[in-house]
């Protein structure tokens, strides 16, 4: 294909500018000396200081990170197991299972959220009236909801890796004396790993980014960062939100750069190994 | 390795937390407040026809803008070198790690009457110029709390969902196919029209789904950027479940109708595009 000329490069730059301008604005105004969101009044770290003493926001941040981490890890393990199981199913039943798997992906978030909240309210009420407890929607329902919409992403990123697998190597490992689980751990798992890690990352991203489903399933006592912002938007939003956005953005950026460095180092290592092997032949 | 029993816990989980809740929505939609069977929920919905129309219209515009911006971006991206491509896809994914409400909230401060854009226009003397030319007396452009602001918010939030599937599909096109077309005498434009574009259609279709569905059902974006002035389907549903108008039966009915209309749209579209595999994941 032809390389990009000046105009197409300019177009790309403009679109990326569009994507990043609001984030840039958030970051700049997190260091503003006054509460204003549009007039620069000098450098200050006061919003960062206030942020760490704001119990509501810190609590929401903790909930968000905890739910996202727990849900994506559980979804990652459950999704990998499920993908292996689905792969072994007969064609027809696999088709049915995979279309159910697609429901949370293609359905509007609000429908997923609303339908889960109906289920949770019914279940909690039924439980309370039979056992005389006073349970409410809260962290656990939030976690279940997140796991439910995370698993499909993991399955969809692990399944292609299963398809690429050579079916003979598992048997070869067993022939060489490995038990079923050892063969899985030493032979199959390393091949699936890129898909699993990718699934974990996507699941975590989706959990962090979610607002709608959390909003309907978290009940009134627990709230995630997004819910906190949404509640604030009705009153007045404090620049502490800018500060926390900046911190989140910075940590993600550092994380991604680290992953990238590791990846390119691995690439280089693999290339060198290949070169050495080639010379030995 | 062939262990199909591993899928059982998952199937049970999905039956309880995906299928059962949707069946509940279906049941609630046909239930009256007193608990009997009714279709009243659907007949009372007639008063919300304008809300339905507005939601679908705004989501459609946002989807079109996303294609117009996202397709060229994905296409140009696929022509870049490997390092650049990896960085660019990372840059597209990166904003998603900040919750979308944070990013939408930032647009509030940009679009406000006393916000950044208007301040900028003021500084460069745009208003003075307009006022002296047209004899008007404006101090700001009214941008926030309009339907335009809502569409902007949708485009901004959902653009990555359009770019990534298209990019993935174009990136996978066998380069030899393009070379073959060139060998047969096609120029750049013909190669694009006859080879690349048709092959990229599955990506466009899944992009459309991934933008249109969240756009038509959003309620946070109209609340933040529309200032609650513009009611959309999402607001309507939210009000039935969380708001003062608590009526999950009507809310379920609206959700159901929205779901069915969206499904019909998707089915028609997929028929058009001979849709291959439905969802291309990121």
pLDDT for res B29: 95
Using alpha carbons only, give the angle A211, A216, A220 rounded to the nearest 5 degrees. 105
* Chain B residues near residue A29 by CB distance under 8 angstroms: 109
pLDDT for B253 beyond 70: yes
Residue, of B281 and A261, whose pLDDT is higher: A261
* Residues 222 through 251 of chain A touching chain B, CB cutoff 8 Å: 225-226, 229-230, 233, 237, 241, 245, 248-249
Residues A116-134: tens digit of each pLDDT: 999 999 999 999 999 988 8
DSSP SS3 for B170: helix
pLDDT for B62 beyond 60: yes
Q: Which of A151-155, A269-273, B87-91, B155-159 bottoms out in mean pLDDT, i.e. has the lowest?
A: A269-273
pLDDT for B273 beyond 70: no
Minimal Cβ distance to B2: which of A3, A88, A97: A88
Query: How far is residue A94's CA from residue A85's CA, in Å, rounded to a whole number?
Result: 9
Q: Which of A19, A80, A92, A162 to mutate to test the interface with B (most CBs of B within 10 A)?
A: A19
Domain presence at residue B277: no
Provide mean pLDDT across the span B78-90. Answer: 86
Using alpha carbons only, give the angle B19, B25, B29 rounded to the nearest 5 degrees. 150
Residues A22-31: tens digit of each pLDDT: 999 999 999 9
* Chain B residues near residue A205 by CB distance under 8 angstroms: 93, 96-97
Contact A110 B219 (CB under 8 A): yes
Closest-CA residue of A relative to B237 is A110
* Chain B residues near residue A238 by CB distance under 8 angstroms: none
Domain presence at residue B96: yes
Residues A264-273: tens digit of each pLDDT: 787 788 888 8
Residue B214, domain extent: 49-272
Q: Taking the alpha carbons of A48, A52, A57, A62 in that order, is the dihedral positive or negative?
A: positive
Contact A230 B220 (CB under 8 A): yes
Contact A241 B102 (CB under 8 A): yes
Provide mean pLDDT across the span A193-219. Answer: 92
Q: Return the CA Rg of chain B.
A: 23
DSSP B237: H
Q: Under 8 Å CB-to-CB from A203, ≥6 apart: which residues?
A: A71, A72, A75, A76, A79, A150, A151, A153, A154
pLDDT band, very low/low/confident/very high, at A280 (cuts 50, 70, 90): low
pLDDT for B130 beyond 50: yes
Provide mean pLDDT across the span B92-108. Answer: 85
CA A38 to the chain's CA centroid: 32
Residues B190-241: tens digit of each pLDDT: 999 999 999 999 899 989 989 999 999 998 899 889 887 888 999 999 999 9
Domain presence at residue B262: yes
Minimal Cβ distance to B237: which of A114, A211, A225: A114
Is A103 in CB contact (< 8 Å) with chain B?
yes
pLDDT for res B115: 85
pLDDT for res B1: 59
pLDDT for res B252: 95
Is A47 in CB contact (< 8 Å) with chain B?
no
pLDDT band, very low/low/confident/very high, at B53 (cuts 50, 70, 90): very high
pLDDT for B183 beyond 70: yes
pLDDT for B33 beyond 80: yes
DSSP SS3 for B37: strand
Average pLDDT, chain A: 90
* Chain A residues near residue B262 by CB distance under 8 angstroms: 108
Domain presence at residue B179: yes
* Domains in chain A, CATH or no CATH each: 57-248 (1.10.3720.10)
pLDDT for B280 beyond 50: no
Q: Which of A41-45, A57-61, B131-135 bottoms out in mean pLDDT, i.e. has the lowest?
A: B131-135
Counting Cβ atoms within 10 Å, is residue A19 exposed (0-12), middle (13-18) or buried (19+)?
A: buried
pLDDT for res B148: 93
Q: What percent of chain B has pLDDT over 90?
A: 50
Domain presence at residue B28: no
pLDDT for res A258: 85
Q: Which of A71-80, A90-99, B20-29 bottoms out in mean pLDDT, i.e. has the lowest?
A: A90-99
pLDDT for res A235: 73
pLDDT for B277 beyond 50: no
Residue, of A34 and A79, whose pLDDT is higher: A79
Residue closest to B37 by CA, chosen among B183, B249, B179? B249
pLDDT for A278 beyond 60: yes
The number of domains in chain B is 1
* Chain B residues near residue A226 by CB distance under 8 angstroms: 99-102
Is A205 in CB contact (< 8 Å) with chain B?
yes
CATH of the domain at B255: 1.10.3720.10
Minimal Cβ distance to A115: which of B10, B22, B93: B22
pLDDT band, very low/low/confident/very high, at A281 (cuts 50, 70, 90): low
pLDDT for res B121: 86
Residue closest to B258 by CA, chosen among B9, B29, B97, B24? B29
DSSP A30: T
Closest-CA residue of B relative to A1 is B79
Domain presence at residue B113: yes
Strand partners, A32: A43
Contact B1 A167 (CB under 8 A): yes
pLDDT for res A21: 92
pLDDT for res A174: 86
The phi, psi pair for B81, rounded to 5°, reads -70, 170
Provide mean pLDDT across the span B29-42. Answer: 91
Minimal Cβ distance to A22: which of B25, B99, B110: B110
Minimal Cβ distance to A211: which of B101, B116, B156: B101
pLDDT for res A279: 75
pLDDT for res B95: 84
Is B214 in CB contact (< 8 Å) with chain A?
yes
Domain presence at residue B24: no
Strands (E) in chain A, as ranges, are none
Inter-residue contact A244 to A61 (CB < 8 Å): yes
Residue closest to B80 by CA, chosen among A4, A175, A156, A228? A4
Using alpha carbons only, give the angle A157, A161, A165 rounded to the nearest 5 degrees. 165
Token digits of residue B241:
């479940």
Residues A132-141: tens digit of each pLDDT: 888 889 999 9
Contact A38 B119 (CB under 8 A): yes
Domain presence at residue B236: yes
pLDDT for B275 beyond 50: no
pLDDT band, very low/low/confident/very high, at A177 (cuts 50, 70, 90): confident
């Amino acid at each position: 294909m032809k390389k990009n000329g000046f105009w197409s490069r300019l177009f790309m730059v403009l679109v990326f500018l569009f994507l990043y301008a609001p984030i840039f604005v958030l970051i700049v105004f997190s260091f503003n000396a006054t509460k204003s969101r549009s007039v620069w009044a000098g450098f200050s770290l006061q919003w960062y200081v206030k942020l760490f003493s704001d119990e509501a926001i810190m609590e929401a941040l903790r909930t968000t990170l905890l739910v996202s981490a727990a849900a994506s890890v559980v979804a990652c393990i459950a999704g990998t197991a499920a993908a292996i199981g689905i792969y072994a199913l007969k064609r027809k039943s696999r088709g049915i299972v995979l279309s159910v798997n697609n429901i949370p992906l293609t359905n509007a978030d609000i429908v997923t959220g609303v339908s889960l909240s109906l289920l949770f309210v019914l279940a909690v009420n039924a439980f309370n009236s039979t056992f005389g407890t006073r349970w409410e929607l809260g962290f656990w329902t939030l976690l279940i909801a997140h796991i439910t919409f995370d698993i499909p992403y993991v399955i969809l990123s692990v399944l292609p890796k299963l398809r690429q697998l050579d079916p003979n190597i598992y048997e070869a490992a067993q022939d060489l004396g490995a038990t079923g689980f050892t063969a899985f751990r030493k032979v199959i798992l390393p091949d699936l790993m890129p898909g699993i890690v990718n699934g974990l990352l996507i699941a975590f991203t989706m959990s962090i980014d979610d607002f709608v489903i959390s909003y309907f399933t978290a009940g009134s006592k627990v709230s995630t960062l997004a819910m906190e912002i949404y509640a604030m938007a009705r009153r007045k939003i404090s620049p502490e939100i800018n500060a926390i956005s900046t911190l989140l953005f910075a940590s993600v950026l550092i994380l991604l750069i680290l992953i990238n460095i590791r990846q390119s180092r691995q690439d280089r290592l693999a290339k060198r190994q290949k070169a050495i092997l080639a010379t030995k032949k | 390795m062939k262990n199909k029993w591993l899928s059982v816990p998952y199937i049970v989980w999905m039956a309880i937390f995906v299928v059962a809740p949707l069946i509940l929505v279906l049941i609630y939609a046909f239930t009256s407040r007193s608990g009997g069977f009714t279709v009243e929920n659907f007949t009372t919905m007639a008063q919300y026809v304008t809300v339905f129309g507005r939601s679908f219209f705004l989501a459609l515009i946002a989807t079109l803008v996303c294609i117009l911006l996202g397709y060229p971006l994905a296409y140009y991206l696929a022509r870049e070198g490997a390092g650049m491509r990896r960085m660019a896809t990372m840059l597209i994914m990166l904003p998603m790690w900040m919750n979308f409400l944070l990013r939408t909230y930032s647009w509030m401060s940009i679009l406000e009457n006393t916000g950044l854009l208007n301040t900028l226009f003021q500084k460069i003397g745009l208003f003075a110029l307009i006022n002296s030319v047209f004899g008007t007396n404006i101090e700001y452009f009214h941008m926030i709390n309009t339907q335009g602001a809502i569409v902007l918010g949708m485009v901004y939030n959902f653009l990555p969902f359009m770019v990534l599937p298209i990019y993935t599909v174009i990136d996978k096109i066998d380069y030899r196919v393009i070379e073959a077309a060139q060998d047969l005498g096609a120029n750049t434009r013909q190669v694009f029209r006859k080879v690349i574009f048709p092959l990229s259609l599955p990506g466009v279709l899944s992009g459309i789904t991934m933008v249109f569905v969240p756009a038509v059902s959003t309620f946070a974006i109209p609340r933040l950027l529309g200032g609650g002035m513009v009611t959309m389907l999402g607001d309507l549903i939210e009000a039935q479940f969380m708001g003062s108008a608590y009526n999950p039966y009507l809310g379920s009915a609206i959700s159901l109708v929205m779901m069915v209309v969206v499904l019909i749209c998707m089915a028609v579209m997929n028929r058009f595009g001979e849709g291959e595999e439905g969802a291309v994941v990121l």
